[in-house]
A = this chain, B = another copy of it.
Amino acid sequence: MKKAVVLLSGGLDSATVLAIARSEGYACYCLSFDYHQRHVAELDASGRVAQALGAAEHRVFQLDLSTFGGSALTDASIAVPQTPSEGIPVTYVPARNTIMLSLALAWAEVLGANDIFIGVNALDYSGYPDCRKEYVEAFERMANLATKSAVEGQLLHIHAPLIDLNKAQIIQRGHALGLDYAMTVSCYQADSAGRACGTCDSCRFRRAGFAAAGLADPTRYQA
């Protein structure tokens, strides 16, 4: 069975990616991060999703990005916007996907896995630069110069199966694979019970996605 490392946040996108990777026959080694994010309920969700979808293993890596701050998700003094903003919003976390992919690369090399899955998408998203196809391609190219495995001919492939899908298409894809989105948490400021605010960017994309997909939204909202 081919091994893959799957970056798993506990949100809608990465859960869909895990369902896709499992449907393609990969033994999935799921990697989540406690990066001192505001929405730690997401991490609880990652454990539920990994178990429900039959991950081979699930690890939560400790990584205190609040050391650097610079984002509403890692600095408690910066509020999460409740309305859409111009440009890249303050929920952008500096270099987050690069850091997470780097650690996935390390684990993949140790596991002997040549495949990493990541749930980035460049439609119905917040304009984060590290969610674009050209970024993912550049990371893959760099990774294939970085490792002993690559030097020895085991080239790494980064799969971003959602990259060209809008939120409704992502939800339809997961639904077709039998994924229960009630397990997932997308909200940037979910409460400790995993209930969503309904107003942040992430909630709005998610809610609109279910509506456009013509599917009932299983999200539990606050109050």
- Residues of A in contact with B (beta carbons under 8 Å apart): 59, 61-65, 67-70, 88, 92-99, 101-103, 105-107, 109-110, 128-130, 132, 134-135, 138-139, 141-143, 145-148, 150-151
Contacts and interface: CB of A to CB of B under 8 A. Distances in A.
Contacts of A147: 94-95, 129-130
Contacts of A143: 95, 98
B135 A106 contact: no
A129 B154 CA distance: 13
How many copies of the shown chain assemble into the complex?
2
Contacts of A134: 145
A95 B109 contact: yes
A188 to B, nearest CB: 17
B135 A148 contact: no
B67 A109 contact: no
Contact of A141 (B62, B103, B138): B138
3 A-B pairs with the lowest CB-CB distances in the bound complex, closest first: A70-B110, A95-B106, A138-B142
Contacts of A129: 145-148, 150-151
B68 A94 contact: no
Nearest to A132: B145
A94 to B, nearest CB: 4
